Amino acid sequence: NAGVMQNPRHLVRRRGQEARLRCSPMKGHSHVYWYRQLPEEGLKFMVYLQKENIIDESGMPKERFSAEFPKEGPSILRIQQVVRGDSAAYFCASSPRGREETQYFGPGTRLLVL
């Protein structure tokens, strides 16, 4: 299965801890997108990355959140000092080329902050 992979599928953290969410795009895809989804709501764009570059982070909170997509390895969404309001499902998507192309989604990581 060469689909988008995310891990972990479920993550529980206590307030103040760090959360690291990983995303491996589909084979051949070099564009990665992170979205956040609260229960019963739609997808909210967070950040768009290409290999080693952040292209658009306009949807990401300026504090505590960061993202990277290194030359080797998965894309990482990092949330420092988590708070209860960070509890949500975080989805990664990838596309082969630009942002105008169809995006393929991973199964998501469900973060619960206690």
Which residues contribute to the site for another protein (CB under 8 A)? 4, 6, 40-43, 45, 56, 91, 95, 99-108, 110
Cβ at position 22, least distance to another protein in Å: 14
Helix (H) or strand (E) holding 94: strand 88-95
Nearer to another protein, 59 or 64 (CB): 59
Cβ at position 47, least distance to another protein in Å: 13
For residue 24, the SS3 value is: strand
The two tokens of residue 99 are: 């942002």
For residue 8, the SS3 value is: coil
